[in-house]
Amino acid sequence: MELTPDWVVGFVDGEGCFFVGINQHKEMTTGYQVLPEFTVVQHERDISVLYALKRFFGCGVVRRNHADRYAYRVRNLKCIEKVIAFFERHKLKTKKRVDFLKFRKVCLMMKEGKHLDKEGLLRIIEIALKMNTADRPKLLEIKKKITRG
């Protein structure tokens, strides 16, 4: 299956997800790690589309998500950079672009190491909180703990 850039933009406008996860991690100075993730989830009947996306971006993995659903997932920062570069050249048309721009901002901050201190981490949490995909209760709980700590 051969994908074109415009098809990929349309499909991701519909099915893509730009997510910034923040998880506890003992080895980080802040106690937390930042995990940006780009995913596209499909029913197993369309797993071939997920592999086509993997070939298109030249990286990422296809994994079972849950039950009969599979995900094309990009977590590696080098690969996320490729994905970001693609969507900078080929603009998303839905409001998913707003989430993409916040995701991009977080990834740029990570590249500068901003996620490694408390101040930067709090700024990243503020950005993540404004994303459509945010797990707000979890992020607010983490924010409270960091501000206290």
Give 128's contacts (C-beta < 8 A, 6+ positions apart): 20, 22, 102, 106, 134, 139
Residue 86 binds to its own copies (criterion: CB under 8 A): no
Residue 89 binds to its own copies (criterion: CB under 8 A): no
Residue 8 binds to its own copies (criterion: CB under 8 A): yes
Nearer to its own copies, 43 or 111 (CB): 43
Minimum CB separation from its own copies for residue 52, in Å? 7
Binding window for its own copies (CB under 8 A); candidates: 41-49, 66-74, 80-88, 110-118: 41-49
Give 47's contacts (C-beta < 8 A, 6+ positions apart): 62, 70
Using the rule CB under 8 A, which residue among 22, 34, 49, 80 binds its own copies? 49
22-26: list long-range contacts, CB under 8 Å, 24+ apart: 22/121, 22/124, 22/125, 22/128, 22/138, 22/139, 22/142
Residue 110 binds to its own copies (criterion: CB under 8 A): no
Binding site for its own copies (CB under 8 A): 1, 3-15, 42-43, 45-46, 49, 52, 93-95
